[in-house]
A and B are shown apart, each in its own frame.
Chain A
Amino acid sequence: MIEFKNLHKRFGKLTVLDGLDLAIDKGGIFAILGPNGSGKTTLIKCLLGMVIPNKGEILFNDQSVLRKWNYRNNLNYLPQIANFPPNLTVSELIKMVKNLRPKEANESEMIQLFGLEPFLSKKLGNLSGGTKQKVNILLTFMFDSEIIILDEPTTGLDPIALIHLKELIQKEKSKGKTILITTHIMSVVDELADEIVFLLDGKIYFKGSIEALKTQTQNNNLEHAIANLISKQYA
């Protein structure tokens, strides 16, 4: 469904992606992992068209996405940092994003799930970090799209919201959606991910199920298995 072919990206002297090849099939939850600065966010941003690769090709449903924009109607993205225009209210923001996409949205369900009713008429500048993240999640999940991309979705959430988020992700998966997650919280990966994609030195270092990873590293604990992979970089 999504295919990255020989992707290269340099920022000045720093090579972030170095001939990366990756194919992601339809349906399921894919955790994109890797040490800090391994290019997880860059990879995602390449798919979204925010970062322009130096070389390589990205295919979405067998069509190139580079320099195109309408394919993004089939993509929901949750950015890492939630920061919105401070003088707009929450409901105005929701209306604006709905306005930008030629798609139906079911925001009322999400508003209820995350208890956002009391904040709807508040200005975004006055919200706490966690509430902003809830708004962020709402904006991502209110559309029905084939692919959902979550960049560090758990930052700043309280435990209840976190549970709701996990349920939400599972629910989308059961509808046959493809979900990409980057995170540093291994319990989330352990609980949700069907497959792990491990990035190192701008390439895919490992791709496979959690079980396969555990057997390969001879480690029963996911956290240690990942640490094992990362430690090879420092060795």
Chain B
Amino acid sequence: MLKILKYSFYDLMRSRWSYVYFVFYLILGFVLLFLNNDVDKAVITLMNIIIVLTPLIGTIFGVMYYYNSREFTELLLAQPIKRRKIFIGQYLGISISLSLSLVLGLGIPFIAYGLFRSTAIFDFGLLLVVGSFLNFIFVALSYNIALSTENKIKGFGYAILMWLFFAVVYDGVFLISLVLFNDYPLDKFSLITTMLNPIDLSRILILLKLDISALLGYTGAVFRKFFGTNIGMFLSMSVLICWILIPVFTMNKKLKKKDF
């Protein structure tokens, strides 16, 4: 597995797209920090970008890598290795190289800015952790879609729809249901719904670390009470980990029956 991981990682680290992705974050980091002197605001802007962009890029990279390396995967399948190891290796290779682009691309401008001496280091660290989590989650989800769809175009379509659902549609449905069921107590409902979408969960996790969460009003207080505590933090991290483990588990199950 480590061998497959190593070579997938090498292959991806040399691809032009990894550099484009890395340079994009690099420029973004420098521009936001040096043209705008408020670190808090920079973190919020970055959060808004990361929370939408990392899932999208993870999804696209995941499907693209699967379909492009299909013939090579066949060659690997003919070698004396377990199926599972090949795919887990590829999956980790993609996720780690994407997370590296993110962490280095944003980390370098922040170090240049002198972040280690500021108090924003924790907010920023959380941002990177959450971004990496989103990478791992969405690459796993997209690998599941790619594994169950033979047709490349369809696979791409489903993957993009999946992203659209989590990034946009889910929030819409959530808001509508909040309005519709306004007469009922909704604090538990909204807590649980937020937990079930990795993008929403990441957003709330970061927002609550920032001062602007005071503006969230009553619901904000509920969230703050829950996520602000150690248990809340621990629980949200576990949910994020589940969001990685469950797709990896279903991927494994699909692999056992799959014909190549």
Contacts and interface: CB of A to CB of B under 8 A. Distances in A.
A1 interface: no
Interface residues of A, number: 31
A87 B79 contact: no
B78 A77 contact: yes
B15 A87 contact: yes
Interface in B217-260: 257-260
B75 interface: yes
B72 interface: yes
A85 B7 CA distance: 9
Contacts of B75: 77, 79, 84, 97, 139
A96 interface: yes
Contacts, number: 74
Interface string B50-81: 00000000000000000001111011111111
B188 interface: no
A77 B74 CA distance: 10
Contacts of B257: 52
Contacts of B11: 85-88
Interface string A65-89: 0000111110101010111111110
Contact of B14 (A77, A87, A99): A87
Given A52-B259, A83-B72, A92 B78 contact: no
A87 B8 CA distance: 10
A96 B260 contact: no
B154 interface: no
Is chain B's binding surface mostly helix, strand, loop or mixed?
A: helix
Contact of A99 (B3, B70, B71, B258): B3
Nearest to A85: B11
A84 B78 contact: no
Contacts of A96: 3, 7
Given A69-B80, A72-B80, A81 B7 contact: no
Contacts of A85: 7-8, 11, 69, 72
A92 B7 contact: yes
Contacts of A82: 71
B13 to A, nearest CB: 8
Interface of B: 3, 7-8, 10-12, 14-15, 69-72, 74-83, 257-260
Interface of A: 11, 45, 48-52, 69-73, 75, 77, 79, 81-88, 92, 96-97, 99-102, 139
10 contacts: A49-B77, A51-B259, A52-B259, A72-B78, A72-B79, A73-B80, A86-B11, A87-B11, A99-B3, A100-B3
